[in-house]
Amino acid sequence: MADFFTLRTVTWEGDHVKMVDQTALPAKLTYVSYSTPEQVASAIRTMVVRGAPAIGVAAAMGVALAARRSKASRLPDLLRDMESSASLLKSARPTAVNLFWAVDRVMEKARAAPTVGRARDDVSVEVMKMEDEDVRVNREMGKRGAELIRDGDTILTQCNAGALATVGYGTALGVVRAAVEQGKLVKVIVPETRPALQGARLTAFELSHDGIPCTLISDTAVGHMLSLGRVDRVVVGADRITRDGYVFNKIGTYQEAVLAKRHGVPFHPAAPASTFDLARVHDEVTIEERAADEVVRIRGRRIAPKGVPVANPAFDMTPPDLVTSMITERGILEPPFADSIAAMA
C-alpha cells in the first residue's frame, strides 16, 4: 500500500510548536507555528488542532513553551509560571481527557526536577517522547483492532479519528490503515459530521490521500445505510471513556451506536489508555457546548433565520450496553467494561 498519511499533525520544534492548520483543510494543507502557550490554547479552542490525542500533545507542548519563556531563576517561580499556563490550556476544551492527562504528565515531570535548568530540559524531552509515543501507540492499537476486521468489510466511522486527530496514524482510522496493511480490502462510510464537518473535510481527505475507498454521506443517512445492511462494523474514536464504560465522542456517535444495535452491527470505540478516565463516572463529565454560529452557518454562510435558538453539543455519550468491544493498544476490552477497564489500567 502506498505511503500512508505520514505527516505529523503536531511537532515540537524546540522553541515553537508546528501544527497542520486543520481549519484550512481540505482546500489547503498548511502549517502554523506557535511560540506561546496562549497561542496554543487559542489553536485548541478554535480547532486549528483538534482530536483528543492531538490536543493532548499540543497542550503538553504549550506547557513546555511556558517553561522555555519563563524568566524564573528559582524552581517554585518556574512551576508557578507553568501552572498558570497549564490552567489556561486545560480550560481550552472540557471533554477530551487526553488534554488533562497530557498537561498533568508534563507538570509532574517539571515538579520532579531538581533545578530550573533540568525542569526545562526534562519537559522538552517529555513532549518529544509523547509525540513519538502517540504514533507508536496508534500503530499498536491499529494492529490489535485490525484483527477484528474481515477482508471486504465496510466500516462506518464518525468525525475524524485519524492521523489528523493524533500526532499520526490515527485511532479508528489507524485500525482501518492496519487492516489495509494486513492486505484486507476495506471500505469506509464517512458521515459528514455537522456542524464542524470533520468527516467531510478531514476523514474523506485522509482516506482519499491514502487511496482507501470511502463514501461520504450526510449525517442523516446513517440509519438508512445500516438498515440496508451496507455496514459490517462501526469503528469510532473517543474523547473520554469513564471507568463505568461510557464512551464520550463526537456528537452523532450515540445515534450510530443505537442504530448499530438495532441492526445487529458490532460497535467498537478505538482509544488509547490515555483516553480512559479512571477517576470519573459518566455523570461527572462536561460535554462541551460550542457557539451557535457553527450550526447557523456553513463555512461562513448563514443557513438559518437570525435569532433562532440553537443547541450545539460537541460530544455525546454512548452507554456500555451498546458497545461490542473496545480497541486499545493494550488489547481488546470485552464487557463488562467496568471490569475490563480496571484490569487494563
Query: In the complex, which residues of this chain contact ligand MRU (CB under 6 A)?
Result: 50-53, 96, 159, 161, 165-166, 171, 198, 237-239, 249-250, 314
C-alpha closest to that of 95 among 314, 273, 325? 314
Q: How far is the CB of 179 from ligand MRU (least distance, A)?
A: 17
Q: How far is the CB of 136 from ligand MRU (least distance, A)?
A: 15
Neighbour-count burial for 59-76, b at 16+ CB within 10 Å, e otherwise: bbbbbbbbbbebebeebe
**Comparison of 70 and 166: residue with beta carbon closer to ligand MRU:** 166
**Comparison of 41 and 82: residue with beta carbon closer to ligand MRU:** 41
C-alpha closest to that of 125 among 96, 98, 139, 105? 105
Q: How far is the CB of 258 from ligand MRU (least distance, A)?
A: 17
C-alpha closest to that of 95 among 288, 290, 292, 316? 288
Instruction: Name residue 312's amino acid.
Output: N
**Comparison of 137 and 265: residue with beta carbon closer to ligand MRU:** 137
3-state secondary structure 24-35: CCCCCCCEEEEC
Run of H or E residues at 330: none
Task: Order the strands of the 276-277 sheet from edge to edge.
Answer: 276-277, 240-242, 247-250, 315-318
C-alpha closest to that of 247 among 160, 156, 318? 318
Which residue is catalytic, options 153, 210, 219, 239? Answer: 239
**Comparison of 49 and 82: residue with beta carbon closer to ligand MRU:** 49
- Is 239 considered catalytic here? yes
Give me the torsion for CA of 302, 306, 311, 315, rounded to 10°: 20
**Comparison of 66 and 163: residue with beta carbon closer to ligand MRU:** 163
**Which residue's Cβ has the minimum distance to ligand MRU?**
237
Query: What is the length of the chain?
Result: 345
| Residues 184 and 151 sit within 8 Å (Cβ to Cβ) | yes
Q: How far is the CB of 248 from ligand MRU (least distance, A)?
A: 8
Q: How far is the CB of 23 from ligand MRU (least distance, A)?
A: 11
Listed in order, strand segments (DSSP E) in 220-330 are: 233-236, 240-242, 247-250, 267-269, 276-277, 297-298, 301-302, 315-318, 326-328
Rounded Cα–Cα distance for residues 96 and 160 (Å): 14
Rounded Cα–Cα distance for residues 299 and 236 (Å): 25
Q: How far is the CB of 14 from ligand MRU (least distance, A)?
A: 26
Give the catalytic positions in this structure: 239
